[in-house]
Structure 1
Amino acid sequence: MKMTRDNFQSLLTPIHNKIIWDEYNSLETQYTKVFRTETMRKKEETFPHLGGFGLWEQNTEGNTINEDEMSEGPTARLEARRFDKGYSVTWELTRDDLYGVLKGRGKDGSAQMLARGFRATLETDTSNVLNNGFTVSGYDGVPLFSDAHPLIDSTLSGDNLITGELTPENLKLAMTLMRQQRGEDGILIQARPKQLIVGPENEMTALEITGSLNKAYEMSNTKNVIQGLEVVVMDYITGPKWFLRDPNFDNLLFGWRDKVFYDSQQLPKTVDFFMFGFARWDCTYVDWRGLIGSTGVAA
């Protein structure tokens, strides 16, 4: 169909959207492998933490049932944040080279760059939940990765912090530490690491450790007992940080309030158009259990 001023927007918008989604889908999404994704029903979603009942108590025949109460603890939250980006395209350049302009040639922006920016924003935002997990305090008053998580109904402390670089021995210590994690009442929760999450700096090391038939980095016949870990590489995890995760626990959470959409509008007093994308989401952790983290450096 020939492009005219009357059909400019009706032709421009669907082509723009196709180029965006072709570019976005050209790479595999990473954050969805470690974040549970939900649809937010309102701007803020809350996740209150409750204590536990502890171990059952022995009783005698004919006696009343042992009664207990569950304590209230801190509340984790998702709060939708707005993200957007746009650029202008001129009638003249777009009419002369529609796909070229939208793919980045000529004046102003491009649909491909808009898609790449959106994908990078998603991956950066989610990765920063882990990147910042050693310094930024969360819902329980300490960082995500800490050896001093307060427990609501226990005098013990929760621990999901390991130190040191990614090595077979440190990985074993981290796996054992996860097995020792406790609920709010101090009872073991039987967490089991299933994922080893790393950035590009540790990708090869992670694959070598988990993929070796015998013990990695040793000239021996000792069997490699580090088995069953899925290596997940997230490009926006910075430095030598590494993490273990049990996906059976609700810990890392991503919430869509408004899934991304793209549209266009005519610029006032011109025949040119403004192309834009808009979305609202939030990501956080709602529990530290089922997670272990290391900065990748010695204490």
Structure 2
Amino acid sequence: MKLTRDNFQELLTPIHKKIIADEYGKLEPQFEKVFKVHDMKKKDESYPHIGAFGLWGENTEGNTINEDEINQGETARLEARRFDKGYSVTWELTRDDLYGVLDGRGKDGSARMLARGLRATIETDAANVINNGFTQIGYDGVPLFSAAHTLTDSAILGDNLITGALTPENLKLGLTKMRNQVNEAGVKIQSRAQQLVAGPDNEYTAREILRSTNQAFEMSNTINSIEGITPIILDYIDGSAWFLRDPSFDNLVFGWRDRTFYDSMKLPKTVDFFMYGFARWDCTHVDWRGLVGSTGE
């Protein structure tokens, strides 16, 4: 198709939309391996926590049934946030460098860079749930990883925080802490870690610990007793932080309110066009159970 001012937008928009989509799809999403991803039905979503029953009480023949009650707990929430980015493509640039522009370049940016920026934004936002999970206050008044999670129907405190670098011994401590997690009534819930999640700084340490025949980093015949754990590396996890996850729990959630779409518009009083992308999402933790984490220090 010959480029004219009349078909400028008609020619460029579908090409750039395809370039953005293709570039975005080149890398497999990492966050989807540890976040439950869904489409939000409205701007705000709530995840109310309710109490739990304790152990059943022993009773005697003919007696009334032991009665218990469930209390209302804290509520976690998602609230869709808007993300967008765009770039302009001038008539002159297109006219003078048609094939370059059709390859995705534009004034102050390009289709490919827009896609890469979107991928980095999503992965960074999801990873920050973990990066901030040791300091940022969550739905229950303490950070995601804490030894002081209050329970609705028990005076004890929930605990999913450990300390120390990623080592075989610390990993075992984390696995044990996971198995000791409790519900709102303080009763064990039989959580089992299946994922070890870390950033690039711990990638090879994680793989060596999990895949060694004998216990890693030791000159001994001690077998590696850590089994059934999959290493997952997220590029945007900061420093030496690491955590364990039981994926049978809905704990890390990512909600799309508007999945990313791309379009263009004519810039006022010009013969130029603005290419842009738009999306709304939110991600957070809605439960601390099924997670155990360390800053790596």
**Same topology, TM > 0.5:** yes
* TM-score normalised by L of structure 2: 0.97
**Aligned residue in 1 for 2:245:** 245
**Change in CA separation of 1:16 and 1:234 when aligned onto 2, cut-off 3 Å:** same
1:142 aligns with 2:161: no
**Aligned residue in 2 for 1:278:** 278
Give the whole-Å Cα distance in 1 for the aligned partners of 2:62 and 2:182: 33
Question: Which amino acid is 1:292 matched to?
Answer: V
**Aligned residue in 1 for 2:63:** 63
Aligned residue pairs, count: 297
* TM-score normalised by L of structure 1: 0.96
In the TM superposition, residue 174 of structure 1 has moved relative to its aligned partner by 0.5
| 1:254-291 C-alpha deviation (Å, 9 max, x unpaired) | 00011110000001121110011100000000000000
Question: Which amino acid is 1:93 matched to?
Answer: L
**Aligned residue in 2 for 1:224:** 224
Secondary structure, aligned partner of 1:155: strand
Q: Percent identity?
A: 71
Q: CA RMSD in A?
A: 1.3
**Change in CA separation of 1:113 and 1:59 when aligned onto 2, cut-off 3 Å:** same
In the TM superposition, residue 97 of structure 1 has moved relative to its aligned partner by 3.1
Question: Which amino acid is 1:196 matched to?
Answer: L
Give the whole-Å Cα distance in 2 for the aligned partners of 1:190 and 1:94: 62
Secondary structure, aligned partner of 2:270: coil
In the TM superposition, residue 65 of structure 1 has moved relative to its aligned partner by 2.5
Give the whole-Å Cα distance in 2 for the aligned partners of 1:242 and 1:143: 15
In the TM superposition, residue 118 of structure 1 has moved relative to its aligned partner by 0.4
Give the whole-Å Cα distance in 1 for the aligned partners of 2:15 and 2:272: 16
Give the whole-Å Cα distance in 2 for the aligned partners of 1:99 and 1:250: 48
| 1:70-114 C-alpha deviation (Å, 9 max, x unpaired) | 000110000010001111100121244345236565643100010
Q: Is the 8 A contact 1:153 1:184 kept in 2?
A: yes
Structure 1 unaligned spans of 5+: none
Please show how residues 121-270 of structure 1 align to structure 2 within 5 Å. 121-270=121-270
**Change in CA separation of 1:176 and 1:50 when aligned onto 2, cut-off 3 Å:** same
Secondary structure, aligned partner of 1:156: strand
Q: Is the 8 A contact 1:102 1:111 kept in 2?
A: no
In the TM superposition, residue 253 of structure 1 has moved relative to its aligned partner by 0.3
**Aligned residue in 2 for 1:39:** 39
**Change in CA separation of 1:233 and 1:99 when aligned onto 2, cut-off 3 Å:** farther
Secondary structure, aligned partner of 1:176: helix
Structure 2 unaligned spans of 5+: none
Give the whole-Å Cα distance in 2 for the aligned partners of 1:288 and 1:96: 56
**Change in CA separation of 1:176 and 1:120 when aligned onto 2, cut-off 3 Å:** same
Give the whole-Å Cα distance in 2 for the aligned partners of 1:186 and 1:106: 59
**Change in CA separation of 1:57 and 1:267 when aligned onto 2, cut-off 3 Å:** same
In the TM superposition, residue 38 of structure 1 has moved relative to its aligned partner by 1.2
Runs of 4+ residues over 4 Å off in structure 1: 102-106
Deviates more, 1:96-105 or 1:172-181: 96-105
In the TM superposition, residue 26 of structure 1 has moved relative to its aligned partner by 1.1
Q: Is the 8 A contact 2:89 2:106 kept in 1?
A: no
Give the whole-Å Cα distance in 2 for the aligned partners of 1:106 and 1:279: 21
Secondary structure, aligned partner of 1:65: coil
| 1:183-227 C-alpha deviation (Å, 9 max, x unpaired) | 000000100000000000000100110110111111222110111
Give the whole-Å Cα distance in 1 for the aligned partners of 2:167 and 2:222: 16
Secondary structure, aligned partner of 1:193: coil
